Amino acid sequence: MNQLSPRPYWYLRHGQTDWNRAGLSQGRTDVPLNETGLDQAVAAGQLIQQALRAAYDTGGAGIVRIVSSPLERALRTASLVRDELVAHGLPVMALSVDDDLAEVCFGEQEGQPIGTWYDDWIAGHYTPAGAESFDVLRARAVGAVNRATEQEGQPLIVAHGALFRALRAAMALPANVRLANAIPLSAAPEPGGAWSLRELP
């Protein structure tokens, strides 16, 4: 399924890894957070708790659960965010894993410097050897987000950069836009099928 259900969610890319810092394609390689990434995850948790409190104060809706990629850099980020929310007096949120939120498999490009091939990959003109096509990534990303949002209340989805490019495409937004590490966003459907993204808080 490539149609994203018109239900809001919050999104967070994992904190920095050494491969991020070196400008290498990570893909499915399970690279852990570095010290900067750990600090970024904690800071993201602080931003999210501020945004939650602001939503509660105005009668708005915040997140009620966390759904993460199974890869260590995302799951560790999700755990640190949840811990930070609890440290600021918020309830413990359920944290679950959806394997379809794992980063794209980049095949032979994993561990290589990030190149200029993303536009061709997104357009379907090029897929690295052993990698997933953009269409396959988009289908599983959309399926995972739809599962996360079908329950009552908004989820925080903690995952990856290329996967968010696929979600941007599903939201009819320019796809090849880099998402910085550990910057929480809210995604909300608008009338007419459009989507809006904003940084929190």
Give every CB contact of residue 58 below 8 A, 6+ residues apart in sequence: none
Nearest in space to 156 (alpha carbons), one of 95, 106, 104: 95
Q: Where do the structural domains in the chain lie, given as residue ranges?
A: 9-199
CA 77 – CA 13 distance, rounded (Å)? 8
pLDDT tens-place values along the chain, 201 residues long? 479 999 999 999 999 999 999 999 999 999 999 999 999 999 999 999 999 999 888 888 899 999 999 999 999 999 999 999 999 999 999 999 999 999 999 999 999 998 889 899 999 999 999 999 999 999 999 999 999 999 999 999 999 999 999 999 999 999 999 999 999 999 999 998 899 999 997
Residue 103 falls in the annotated catalytic set: yes
Beta strands in the chain (DSSP E): 9-13, 63-68, 94-97, 154-159, 185-189, 195-199
CA terminus-to-terminus distance, the chain: 31
pTM over 0.75: yes
Q: Give the tens place of pLDDT for each residue, 2-30.
A: 799 999 999 999 999 999 999 999 999 99
Residue 14 falls in the annotated catalytic set: yes
Architecture of the domain delimited by 9-199: 3-Layer(aba) Sandwich (3.40)
Indicate which residue of 103, 110, 132, 160 is catalytic: 103
Burial of 91 per CB tally in 10 Å (0-12, 13-18, 19+): exposed
CA 156 – CA 145 distance, rounded (Å)? 10
